Amino acid sequence: MAASETVLRVPLGSLSQSCYLASFFVNSTTNLSFKPVSINRKGVRCTSSHEFSSISNSAVRGHSFHSSNCSLKGKKFVCKCQKHDVEESIRSTVLPSDGLKSDLDEMPLPVNGSLSSNGNAQSVGTKSIEDEAWDLLRQSVVFYCGSPIGTIAANDPSSTSVLNYDQVFIRDFIPSGIAFLLKGEYDIVRNFILYTLQLQSWEKTMDCHSPGQGLMPCSFKVKTVPLDGDDSMTEEVLDPDFGEAAIGRVAPVDSGLWWIILLRAYGKCTGDLSVQERVDVQTGIKMILKLCLADGFDMFPTLLVTDGSCMIDRRMGIHGHPLEIQALFYSALVCAREMLTPEDGSDDLIRALNNRLVALNFHIREYYWLDLKKINEIYRYQTEEYSYDAVNKFNIYPDQIPSWLVDFMPNRGGYLIGNLQPAHMDFRFFTLGNLWSIVSSLATNDQSHAILDLIEAKWAELVADMPLKICYPAMEGEEWRIITGSDPKNTPWSYHNGGAWPTLLWQLTVASIKMGRPEIAEKAVELAERRISLDKWPEYYDTKRARFIGKQARLYQTWSIAGYLVAKLLLANPAAAKFLTSEEDSDLRNAFSCMISANPRRTRGPKKAQQPFIV
Ligand code: GLC
Strand residues in 431-554 grouped as ranges (E) = 471-472, 541-542, 548-549
Residue among 171, 325, 489 to mutate when testing ligand 1 (max atoms within 8 A of CB): 171
Residue 352 CA to ligand 1 centre (angstroms) = 32
What Cα–Cα distance (Å) separates residue 209 from each residue in 206, 298, 319, 384, 590?
A: 5, 22, 20, 40, 43
- Model confidence at 73, pLDDT cuts 50, 70, 90, reads low
Whole-angstrom distance, CA of residue 206 vs CA of residue 122: 41
Of the candidates 113, 257, 245, 116, the residue with the CA atom closest to the CA atom of residue 174: 257
Whole-angstrom distance, CA of residue 419 vs CA of residue 102: 49
User: Helix/strand/coil (H, E, C) string of 185-208?
Assistant: CCHHHHHHHHHHHHHHCCCCCECC
Amino acid occupying residue 457 = A
Write down the pLDDT at residue 19: 29
Which ligand 1 atom is nearest residue 539's CA?
A: 12
Collect all residues with Cβ–Cβ distance below 8 Å to 314 and sequence separation of at least 6. Answer: 247, 248, 307, 308, 484, 487, 489, 490, 496
Q: Residue 239: enclosing H or E segment and its boundaries? A: strand 233-241
Write down the pLDDT at residue 357: 96
Residue 311 CA to ligand 1 centre (angstroms) = 6
The answer, yes or no, to whether residue 64 has pLDDT greater than 50, is no
Do the Cβ atoms of 493 and 530 come closer than 8 Å?
Answer: no
The answer, yes or no, to whether residue 94 has pLDDT greater than 80, is no
- Give the DSSP letter string of 552-591: TPPSSBHHHHHHHHHHHHHHH-GGGGGGT--PPPHHHHHH
Whole-angstrom distance, CA of residue 563 vs CA of residue 174: 9
Nearest CA, atom 12, ligand 1 = 153
32-36 and 22-26 beta bridge pairing = antiparallel
Whole-angstrom distance, CA of residue 178 vs CA of residue 184: 10
Residue 487 CA to ligand 1 centre (angstroms) = 15
Which ligand 1 atom is nearest residue 153's CA?
A: 12
Q: Distance of alpha carbon 23 from its chain centroid, rounded?
A: 26
Nearest CA, atom 7, ligand 1 = 313
pLDDT in tens, 374-414: 999 999 998 888 878 888 888 899 999 999 999 999 999 99
Q: Where is average pLDDT lowest: 55-59, 139-143, 325-329, 422-426? A: 55-59
pLDDT in tens, 181-227: 999 999 999 999 999 999 986 676 666 777 778 899 999 999 988 88
Residue 381 CA to ligand 1 centre (angstroms) = 39
Residue among 142, 155, 172 to mutate when testing ligand 1 (max atoms within 8 A of CB): 172
Interval 564-592 mean pLDDT: 91
Whole-angstrom distance, CA of residue 79 vs CA of residue 62: 21
The answer, yes or no, to whether residue 584 has pLDDT greater than 80, is yes
Residue 495 CA to ligand 1 centre (angstroms) = 10
Q: Where is average pLDDT lowest: 93-97, 235-239, 433-437, 443-447? A: 93-97
Q: Where is average pLDDT lowest: 158-172, 203-217, 282-296? A: 203-217
Which ligand 1 atom is nearest residue 247's CA?
A: 7
pLDDT in tens, 139-158: 999 999 999 999 999 998 87
Q: Distance of alpha carbon 231 from its chain centroid, rounded?
A: 39
Nearest CA, atom 9, ligand 1 = 311
List all residues whose CB is within 6 A of at least one atom of ligand 1.
153, 169, 171-172, 311, 313
Residue 310 CA to ligand 1 centre (angstroms) = 9
Do the Cβ atoms of 549 and 542 come closer than 8 Å?
Answer: yes
Residue 558 CA to ligand 1 centre (angstroms) = 11
Which ligand 1 atom is nearest residue 154's CA?
A: 12
Whole-angstrom distance, CA of residue 17 vs CA of residue 352: 34
Q: Where is average pLDDT lowest: 116-125, 132-141, 232-241, 564-573? A: 116-125
User: Helix/strand/coil (H, E, C) string of 131-163?
Assistant: HHHHHHHHHCEEEECCEEEEECCECCCCCCCCC
> What share of the chain has pLDDT > 70, as a percent?
73
Strand residues in 348-469 grouped as ranges (E) = 369-371, 414-421, 424-430
Residue 421 CA to ligand 1 centre (angstroms) = 26
Interval 319-345 mean pLDDT: 94
Q: Residue 88: enclosing H or E segment and its boundaries? A: helix 83-93
Do the Cβ atoms of 418 and 471 come closer than 8 Å?
Answer: yes
Mean pLDDT, all residues of the chain: 80
Residue 313 CA to ligand 1 centre (angstroms) = 7
Whole-angstrom distance, CA of residue 283 vs CA of residue 276: 10
Residue 163 CA to ligand 1 centre (angstroms) = 11
Nearest CA, atom 3, ligand 1 = 311
Which ligand 1 atom is nearest residue 557's CA?
A: 12
Q: Residue 8: enclosing H or E segment and its boundaries? A: strand 6-10
Whole-angstrom distance, CA of residue 121 vs CA of residue 93: 24
Which ligand 1 atom is nearest residue 558's CA?
A: 12
Residue among 313, 328, 554 to mutate when testing ligand 1 (max atoms within 8 A of CB): 313
Reduced DSSP (H G I as helix, E B as strand, rest coil) percent helix, strand, coil of the chain, to 5: 40, 15, 45
Do the Cβ atoms of 425 and 398 come closer than 8 Å?
Answer: no
DSSP state of 464: T
Residue 432 CA to ligand 1 centre (angstroms) = 14
